[in-house]
């Protein structure tokens, strides 16, 4: 399909961009996603030792309860960030808003170093997540609007992979420098490192020409339009599919490092880092599985991802009781298929919405899913407490959500082979 079909004005502008600016845009967004993933990966590593220090050696029932609360606050902050920074991206431009979002999440992750109570961690994770929630939707919009349409599946895979590279890197760091209740604070300082990227983005990255043309034609009222009669169905679809992926991730998969730490009775601090590296490595592969599976159709691909995710999660959480080779192999598989949604979503969501509201719509869709995932995280914490500290039974319960996706996707539009809406 030619990039100029059906959308002559903006696609001509898009295809005329110098190759160097295309790669610069992709590099900046990829680094933003990578650091975003690194920020998300920090807390599963530090959570158990940090909370045990703050709660004076509390057991896993108390740790699980606070893990659920802090995860929920993070997800609610990300949801707010998706709305705030998505709206800013449609109003002042993708590049400026993306730089501000990177600055927000890096600074407030670093401030977690000074936390002395679980509430401090919860508050700082909330504010940092506002920036993280905005960065995803802005980066996706910028890259998809800048590059020619024929590269969209590969770009969606790169988006999914980049954040998981960051998740993997923080796991590698935790493996070589084991994180304990005496050493967890320095990890939060690592999270402040992306602040310099924000300055580089502002100075070097060109703005989306597609967005510039769109706002030149008519004034954007993104929030009103996203919830208008014309787009409300697509907005609901984006929220539903993002929610299924995010509830599975934040309600169960993100808890696997804590489960590994418990299975080894805390005597093998690197076990949680190994689990995180396996999840991230699987998810890097999964990002491309998710995006490239779209060639069969967006809807069939989503069904296959839901079934594969449910199957691997059921096998891990219901079939493994000891830390070892099978645990690690299945953890990689779980990471691959649950992570594949994050290659599918950046392929599908931009195809649902016109340019003038795309960043806001993606921010609302993906990050309102985080609100529901926050409910899932709180429920997960309550389930851990209800099941007497049993992370596996909690994970097996939460991952039933993937079966919902097998049904709901058939009520959404199929967008395979269509250009981005103007």
How far apart, in whole angstroms, are the C-alpha atoms of residue 75 and residue 69?
A: 10
pLDDT value, residue 313? 95
Which DSSP string do the residues of 169-182 spell out, in sequence order? HHHHHHHHS---TT
pLDDT value, residue 53? 85
Average pLDDT over residues 351-358: 88
- pTM of the shown model: 0.75
pLDDT value, residue 1? 34
Tokens representing residue 8 in the block: 């002559």
pLDDT value, residue 2? 33
Q: Classify the phi-psi angles of 266: left when phi > 0, otherwise alpha if psi is within -120 to 50, otherwise beta.
A: left
How far apart, in whole angstroms, are the C-alpha atoms of residue 257 and residue 331?
A: 10
Sequence ranges of the domains in the chain? 8-411
pLDDT value, residue 20? 76
What angle separates helix 391-398 from helix 232-251, to the nearest 10 degrees?
Answer: 160
Tokens representing residue 304 in the block: 């296959």
Backbone angles phi, psi at 212, to 5 degrees: -60, -40
pLDDT value, residue 273? 83
3-state secondary structure of 418: coil
In terms of residues, how long is the chain?
Answer: 422
Tokens representing residue 186 in the block: 């320095």
How far apart, in whole angstroms, are the C-alpha atoms of residue 385 and residue 61?
A: 5
Confidence of residue 220 (pLDDT cuts 50, 70, 90): low
Of 10-19, 177-186, 262-271, where does mean pLDDT reach its minimum?
A: 10-19
pLDDT value, residue 208? 82
**41-50 b/e with 16+ CB inside 10 Å = b?**
bbbbbbbbbb
Domain 8-411: CATH superfamily is: MFS general substrate transporter like domains (1.20.1250.20)
How far apart, in whole angstroms, are the C-alpha atoms of residue 373 and residue 371?
A: 5
Average pLDDT over residues 169-178: 81
Tokens representing residue 75 in the block: 């997800």
How far apart, in whole angstroms, are the C-alpha atoms of residue 65 and residue 50?
A: 14
Q: Has residue 352 got a pLDDT over 60? A: yes
Confidence of residue 72 (pLDDT cuts 50, 70, 90): confident
**DSSP E strand stretches across 272-396:** none
Average pLDDT over the chain, rounded to whole? 84
Query: CB within 8 A of 370, min separation 6: which ones?
Result: 75, 76, 78, 79, 82, 133, 242, 246, 250
- What pLDDT, in 10s, does the model give residues 291-341? 777 678 899 999 999 999 999 999 999 999 899 999 999 999 999 999 999
Of 101-105, 212-216, 298-302, 308-312, where does mean pLDDT reach its minimum?
A: 212-216
Check if the beta carbon of residue 79 is closer than 8 Å to that of residue 367: yes
Confidence of residue 16 (pLDDT cuts 50, 70, 90): low
**DSSP E strand stretches across 81-163:** none
- What pLDDT, in 10s, does the model give residues 145-160? 888 878 878 888 888 7
What angle separates helix 232-251 from helix 60-92, to the nearest 10 degrees?
Answer: 150
**Which helix (H) or strand (E) covers residue 72, if one does?**
helix 60-92
Confidence of residue 57 (pLDDT cuts 50, 70, 90): low
pLDDT value, residue 3? 34
Tokens representing residue 126 in the block: 């909330």
Mark out the alpha helices in 228-269 (DSSP H runs): 232-251, 256-263
Q: What share of the chain in percent tops pLDDT 90?
A: 21
**DSSP E strand stretches across 50-109:** none
Tokens representing residue 111 in the block: 């401030």
- What pLDDT, in 10s, does the model give residues 386-401? 888 888 899 999 999 9
Q: Has residue 140 got a pLDDT over 80? A: yes
pLDDT value, residue 236? 92
DSSP state of 96: H
How far apart, in whole angstroms, are the C-alpha atoms of residue 391 and residue 260?
A: 9
The residue with greater pLDDT, 137 or 262, is: 262
Number of Cβ within a 10 Å radius of residue 411: 11
**367-396 b/e with 16+ CB inside 10 Å = b?**
bbbbbbbbbbbbbbbebbbebebbbbbbbb
């Amino acid at each position: 399909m030619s990039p100029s079909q059906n959308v002559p004005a903006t696609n001509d502008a898009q295809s005329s961009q110098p190759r160097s600016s295309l790669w610069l845009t992709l590099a900046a967004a990829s680094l933003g996603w990578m650091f975003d993933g690194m920020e998300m990966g920090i807390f599963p590593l530090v959570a158990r030792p940090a909370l045990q220090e703050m709660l004076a050696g509390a057991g896993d029932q108390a740790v699980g309860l606070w893990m659920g609360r802090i995860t929920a606050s993070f997800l609610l902050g990300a949801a707010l960030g998706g709305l705030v920074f998505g709206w800013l991206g449609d109003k002042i431009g993708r590049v400026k808003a993306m730089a501000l979002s990177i600055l927000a999440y890096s600074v407030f992750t670093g401030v977690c170093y000074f936390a002395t109570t679980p509430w401090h961690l919860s508050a700082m994770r909330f504010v940092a997540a506002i920036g993280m929630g905005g960065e995803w939707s802005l980066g996706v919009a910028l890259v998809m609007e800048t590059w020619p349409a024929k590269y969209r599946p590969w770009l969606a895979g790169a988006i999914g992979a980049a954040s998981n590279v960051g998740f993997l890197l923080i796991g590698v760091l935790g493996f070589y420098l084991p994180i304990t209740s005496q050493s967890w604070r320095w990890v939060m300082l690592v999270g402040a490192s992306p602040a310099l990227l924000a300055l580089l983005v502002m100075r070097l990255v060109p703005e989306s020409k597609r967005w510039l043309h769109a706002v030149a034609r008519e004034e954007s009222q993104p929030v009103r339009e996203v919830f208008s009669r014309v787009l409300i169905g697509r907005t609901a679809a984006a929220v539903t599919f993002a929610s299924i992926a995010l509830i599975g991730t934040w309600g169960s998969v993100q808890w696997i490092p804590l489960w590994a730490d418990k299975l080894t009775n805390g005597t093998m601090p690197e076990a949680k880092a190994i689990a995180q590296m396996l999840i991230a490595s699987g998810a890097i592969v999964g990002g491309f599985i998710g995006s490239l599976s779209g060639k069969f159709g967006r809807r069939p691909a989503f069904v296959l991802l839901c079934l594969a995710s449910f199957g691997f999660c059921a096998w891990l959480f219901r079939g493994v009781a000891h830390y070892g080779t099978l645990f690690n192999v299945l953890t990689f598989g779980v990471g691959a298929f649950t992570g594949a949604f994050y290659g599918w979503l950046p392929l599908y969501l931009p195809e649902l919405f016109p340019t003038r509201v795309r960043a806001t719509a993606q921010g609302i869709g993906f990050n309102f899913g985080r609100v529901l995932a926050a409910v899932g995280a709180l429920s997960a914490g309550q389930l851990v407490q209800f099941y007497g500290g049993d992370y596996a039974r909690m994970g097996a319960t939460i991952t039933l959500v993937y079966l919902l996706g097998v049904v709901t996707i058939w009520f959404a539009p199929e967008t395979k082979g269509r250009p981005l809406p103007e």
